[in-house]
Structure formats: C-alpha cells, structure tokens
Structure 1
Amino acid sequence: MNLLGRYRLLFVLMNTGFIGNLTVIYYLSKGITYGQIGLVSAISALGFFLFEVPTGVVADKVSRKTSVLIGMGLFSLGTVILIFLRNFPMLIAYAVVSSLGATFVSGSLQAWLFDNLKHLGMEGRYREVMKDVKTLTLLSSAFSIPIGAFLAQFYGFTLPLVMTLLMELGALVTALSIPEYEFKRPEVSYHIHVLHSARELFRNDLLPLILVSIAVSMSINQFHKFFEPYLGEILARDLGTTIMNTLGLLGIVEVLIKTLPRLIGIRLGKKWSVRAYEAAPLAIPVFTALSVLFQNPLFVVLLGVLATIVNTAFGFNVSVEFQHRIPSEKRATVLSLDMMFSAMVMAVFYTVYGFAVDRLSLSEARLLFAVILFGIGAAFKLASVGPLREPLELRHLAE
C-alpha cells in the first residue's frame, strides 16, 4: 500500500467509532448528571490547555510520528476506562486520559501528512487529499454509528465500545507503518521555541481567524451538546416510549446530522464553501434557536443537517488556511497553542452551559445560549466587512 493509501486507512480507523455522541446517554445511564457531564467536558478542555504546548513541542522537537503514536495509545487506554465506567471519578479519569491523547494527535497528524507531501513535492494536493480522507472517514462513520447504536439498544453499550477499541488498536498499527521523511527539528531551546511560536498567534493575519473559529466552535458545540438526550426526549414523548428505546433511531439521526452532512460540507464547490464559511458565525446560532422554538423531530433533524454542513465547510477552510499561513517548523506548536487558547474558552463554556441545563432546562438553556452566541457572531460579521476583512479572507483559494 502506498503512502497516501496508508494515510487514508489510518484516518478511517481513527474515525470509525461505534458510539459517537450517544456516550452522553451512556453517562446518564450511569447516574451522571448534565452538570457533571458539563464539568467533565470542561476538564477535557482544561486538559487541552495544560497539555497542548508540551505535546506540541514533542511534535516539533522530537517527531510528529512519535507524538501521534503516543496519542493513539492514550486513546485506547481511555476507551478501556470507558468500557468499565462505573462512576463520576472514572469519567474524570477518562476525560484526562483522552484529552491528553488528543493533544498529542492534534496538529501533529496534519503536520506529519503535510510535511510528507511537501517532501514528495505534493504539498499543493493537501486540500484534495484531506477532502478524500474526510470523505472516506465520514462514509465509514455513516455505517458504524447506526450499527453501534442498535447494538447498544439491544445488547448494551459494552459491545460497541469494545469494537471501537479494536479500531483504535488497528489505527495504532497502521501509524507505525507510515514513514516520516526528513523531519526538521528547530535549532532553538524548548522555551524559546514556544515563545517564538506563541508570537505567531498574535499576527494580524492569524488572531482574527483564531477568534472567529472559537466563536463558531462554541456555536456548533452548543447545538450538539446534549443533542441526543434532547431529541431523544422529543422522540420518546411523541412515540410514547423511553429514551433508551430510541437509541437505534438516535444512531441513525447522528449519521443524518453529524456524518453525512460533513461529507457534503467538505465536498462543496469553492463558491458554496466560501458562502458557508462566511455564514457560519450567524447561521449556526439561528439553527439552534429554531430547534427550540419548533420542536418537531423532522425539523430539528433538518436544522442539525444544515448546521453541520455550514460548520464543516467553515472548519475545513480554516484548517487549510492555518496550514498555509503557519511556518512548517512552528506548525505543530502554533496549532497546539491555538487549541490551548480555545480550550480555556471552551472550559468555561462547558461548565456554565452544563450547570445552566441543570438549573433551567435543556430547552431553555439552548435558547438562551443561542441568543448570546448570535450576538457574538453578529459582532464578527460586522468586523469582517470593516477592519477584519483582509485577515478573514480565504487566501489559500487564490494560491
């Protein structure tokens, strides 16, 4: 199998899970509350804050491949903890281990691929390769998540979690087989390297892009956070059953709103992709608000599809833009610092949102936060036609 074939297989195995966001219902079935789930999400985000810089430096100073392998090993350990989940402290342990694993992989995997393509004189194909990779991973998820959901409904969550663990171990073996060409270590010390990389975040052409990506991340996370129990309650009410008896349907819905729309989002033509990128800060909060005001299951699913398409196109364009704007020798650390900065914001968001759901209700909290995030998105849209017009333009499309 050639290099690109192995990368495709690696991404497919890494992204073939059999539970997806149905884990929220798994947590609730273990007696864990919405507030505790929000707190664990905050701990995961804080894990990114604490671990992103050290792990990013491992990628830049030691090896991209080494960083990815460590992260994948931690993913497998986290899944083992999840399989034996019994209480809130174990969920905290899972959050810490999985967030540490994610920080080793984040930025490093894409930088590893980009550097290998550059070595082969194929860096111009990065956008095309990532489109192909994401297409394959989404198609894989489209089959695996419904299968796992029905298995969970009829046999419990353990079986699909074990199947997910097997995929993660397969990804680890595949990563071992992929070479790392001409890795270049920076010729500066750890602290100087981090400081030099940190300065990149405050460049006029990077900081606005980072800030708007955080705003959109909050919006899409707010739409998706607790979405399964939210829709499950609506379905259970309309069908006269319990939320546990809707797991199979929720698995299909997850594919419809979180998997297949991503395929559309990354395959959009240049014109529509740019439109989605520009619309994301305002459109996603509007979709969230409408999902509360009109609680028809089919309409809510349609809104989820639209939100995911818009967010995927936005995220894909931002990701490619970062790769083109950040110097190679600092890329993994800069991306890690970006994740760290985002994590600080998301930690606060998850904590406040989780306890807001406990204090108010899921519907009321969704509507309140949608209005707040709409205001933030409106501020960015106004700035994008004024002082932030140039930094927020997608330059890679013109190259």
Structure 2
Amino acid sequence: MKTMTELMESNIKKNYVFSFLMNFRLSNGLWMIYMASRGMSLTQIGFLEGIFHVTSLMMEVPTGSVADLFGRKLSRSIGRCLSLVSILVLIGATSFFHFTIFMVLAALSYNLESGSGEALVYDSLKYLKAENNFISVLGRQEAIFQVSSVVALLIGGFLGTYSYHYAFWASSGIIAFSVVYSLSFTEPPILESVGRNSKTFRGFLKQIVDSFSLIARDRKVAFLIFFVQTILAFSACIFFYIQNYWKGLGRTEFQIGIYLAAGSFLAGLVAMKVQRLSHLLKEKKVLIILPLISVASMWGVALCSNKLPFFMVVAMIEAMLFVAGNDYINKLIPSRSRATIISFASMMYSLVMIIFFPIFGRIADTISFGVAFVSLAVMASCLYVLSMYLLKKIG
C-alpha cells in the first residue's frame, strides 16, 4: 500500500504521460482544413470557433468549481469522455449544425480539463511542500505537450494526405486510452477547508462568487489573467488561420503538419528554460520582454512573405508565457479556489477568441489574409501598450 506522499509523487509522473496523451491529437492540424473541404467558408469556421469559445465562456467557471468541489480527477475523466464523443461527432459531421455539436462538446471537454489538471498538479506539489518546483514541472509538462504535438502533427498531416478520417479514427483510439489512464490519478488532499455544505447548489454558487471576489480584490491576479490570456489568444489565431493560408498557397497537409510541428518542437525546447529565464530576469521583466517579442513576431507574420520563422517565434513565446504566467498566478491564489480561478483565466481567453476569431476569419474571407494578419498585429500592439501602462500602475 503506497503512502499519500508516494501517491502525490506518482501524480506528478503520471501527469507527464497524461499530458503527452492529451495533446496527441492527430486532428489538431487538420480540423480547419477539413471543415473547409466540407464546404465551410472562413467566416463560418470563424463562427464555429466562436461557438467553441462562447461555450467555454459560459462553462469555464462552473466546470472549474466542479473540480474544486467534487474532485480534479473526476473533472478530468469526464472531460476525456466528452473529448472522445466530440471526435466521433467530427468523423460523421457533414453540416454546420454537426460541426456546431462537435465544437460544443470539444469546448466542454476543454473546460473540464483546463482548471482541474493544473490544480491537481499544483496541489500534489503543495502536499509535498514542493510548490516552488511548479514552474519547473510546468515547463517539463509543456515540453512534453509540445513534443506530443510535433509527433501528432506529423502523423496527422501524413494520414490527412490520404484521408482525414484515418487521422480522426486514430485520434479517437488515443483519447479512449487517455480516459482509462485518467482514472489512475489520486485526488490530492486540499489542506484548506471548502466548507461542510460546499457540495450543495448554494455552496457551488458561493464557490464561484468567492473566486470572483478574490480576483476583483487582487489587481495583480486580474492583470495577469487579462494580459497573458489575451496574448495567448492572439497567438492561437495565427496558429489556426495560417493553416488555411498555407493551404491556399498549395501546401499539402503533410507539409503544413511539418511547419506546425517545427513550431511545437521549438516551443517544447524553450518551455523547459522558463524557470532559468524567470530567475534571471525576474517576473516584471519577463512580462515586458516576452510579449514584446511576440508582438514583433506577429508583425513579421503580417508583413513578410516567408511567415514560417516568425510563426515559430510566436509559438515559442506562447509556450514560455503560458508557463511563466500560470506559475505567477498559482502562487497568488488559494487551493480551495484554484481550479475555479484557473478556469476564469481560460474564460478570458475564450472571450478574446469570441471577439477576434470570427472578425479575423471575415477579413481573410472578404479582403485577404494579409490584411487580416496586419489587423491582428495592430490589435496586439495596442494591447501591449495598454498592458505596459497597467503593469506600471500595479507596480
């Protein structure tokens, strides 16, 4: 019989494997191209992505509270089950309505994992009195995440040149295995009490209200959520739409998979260096320098004919900012509200995507990808200037 300490240590190791499985999505570099092949315009694809994020916006905090009140392990397992259902819907999808169902299910799956997985890892470390190692653990996890993405994008792109469904069916098998694997985690003890009646509906609402109140009181937490998630959302816009841009230039699915995989490979390498960078530059300089490089690279994507090098830099900075930003936020929030607040951060990401993803698709559809990329770079520049002003105010 393993001790609780051994089980918590096992959680950290198992999470590395789970991270690989979770991001081994052979559909990741294909679904936008697949939708286009099924007759969806870029505007419609933009609205479908918007539906994903509207669902996320509505459900992020409630699903985060589910993880806080009923268990990170349970939330994660349900999320994997919904991911499996969503890929099966995608396989049979032939219309905008079918793709809408796919997006809603995929969003709920993402919601249930987004706060619970990170909270499970952090609270396992907290039980071991090793939470200062979180940035290192998260860096390794992000590296594994990106390595998984590299392999998935290459295999998915290769299979996609023959049939999109080959990639989707293979992906469904991997997700099914991850469902079983998710059951092997041990729920970490929460050292801070959440209250005897917390699992009632009133306790559920109180959990959400208390988490919102904490964010409202702590300007630094609010700033980190707003700034980091918005930069990540702009980076995601480039990741998804550049696939159709390259497709329009005549690139094959396998070639596009290689481009995306190269970005993920470099992102995985730099993710492991974030802890060293954070010690070297300190938090404030990291929040100034990394986003500045990201915004400059977005201008490179917008203005240069060879967009690949700048896309790779955007991917690398996204990974580094994800690790650093999440570490800074987790140090400021209590365990009893951790999954809820992390889910609120994901909700901010969804809000940005709801606003800008369809706009970007509409501009690319009606004018050109060039104008759309420039528009995104302009918005990212304005965000950076505003955020530097806010950062100076909060100190």
Instruction: Give 1:223's aligned residue.
Output: 238
1:306 counterpart letter in structure 2? V
2:262 counterpart letter in structure 1? L
**TM (normalized to structure 2)?**
0.89
Pairing partner for 1:293 from 303, 313, 316 = 303
Instruction: Give 1:397's aligned residue.
Output: none
Instruction: Give 1:142's aligned residue.
Output: 150
CA distance in 1: counterparts of 2:190 and 2:222, whole angstroms? 27
1:186 equivalent in alignment to 2:194: yes
Which deviates further from its counterpart, 207-216 or 115-124? 115-124
CA distance in 1: counterparts of 2:243 and 2:350, whole angstroms? 23
Query: Aligned pair in 2 of structure 1 residues 372, 144: CA closer, same or farther (>3 Å)?
Result: closer
1:360 equivalent in alignment to 2:374: no
Q: Secondary structure of 1:16's partner?
A: coil
CA distance in 1: counterparts of 2:130 and 2:390, whole angstroms? 36
Instruction: Give 2:17's aligned residue.
Output: 9
Pairing partner for 1:21 from 10, 26, 29 = 29
Which deviates further from its counterpart, 249-258 or 112-121? 112-121
Pairwise CA RMSD: 2.1
Instruction: Give 1:121's aligned residue.
Output: 129
Cα offset, 1:227, TM superposition: 0.6
CA contact (8 A) 2:158 2:254 kept: yes
CA distance in 2: counterparts of 1:318 and 1:47, whole angstroms? 24
Query: Aligned pair in 2 of structure 1 residues 181, 288: CA closer, same or farther (>3 Å)?
Result: closer
1:46 counterpart letter in structure 2? V
2:270 counterpart letter in structure 1? I
Pairing partner for 2:214 from 200, 205, 217 = 200
The within-5 A match list for 1:230-249 is 230-234=245-249, 236=250, 243=251, 246-249=252-255
2:291 counterpart letter in structure 1? P
Pairing partner for 1:326 from 320, 330, 333 = 333
Q: Secondary structure of 1:20's partner?
A: coil
CA contact (8 A) 1:142 1:260 kept: no
How many pairs were matched up? 375
Instruction: Give 1:111's aligned residue.
Output: 119
Cα offset, 1:272, TM superposition: 6.8
1:253 equivalent in alignment to 2:268: no
The within-5 A match list for 1:259-298 is 259-268=265-274, 269-270=276-277, 271=280, 277-296=287-306
CA distance in 2: counterparts of 1:379 and 1:200, whole angstroms? 23
Which deviates further from its counterpart, 72-81 or 195-204? 195-204
CA distance in 1: counterparts of 2:62 and 2:292, whole angstroms? 35
CA-to-aligned-CA distance 1:127-168 (integer Å, 9 cap, x gap): 222222222232232223212211111x21111111111111
Which deviates further from its counterpart, 94-103 or 349-358? 349-358
1:387 equivalent in alignment to 2:393: yes
CA distance in 2: counterparts of 1:215 and 1:48, whole angstroms? 15
Structure 2 stretches lacking a partner, 5+ long: 1-6
CA distance in 1: counterparts of 2:47 and 2:145, whole angstroms? 29
Query: Aligned pair in 2 of structure 1 residues 5, 383: CA closer, same or farther (>3 Å)?
Result: closer
CA contact (8 A) 1:134 1:263 kept: no
**TM (normalized to structure 1)?**
0.88
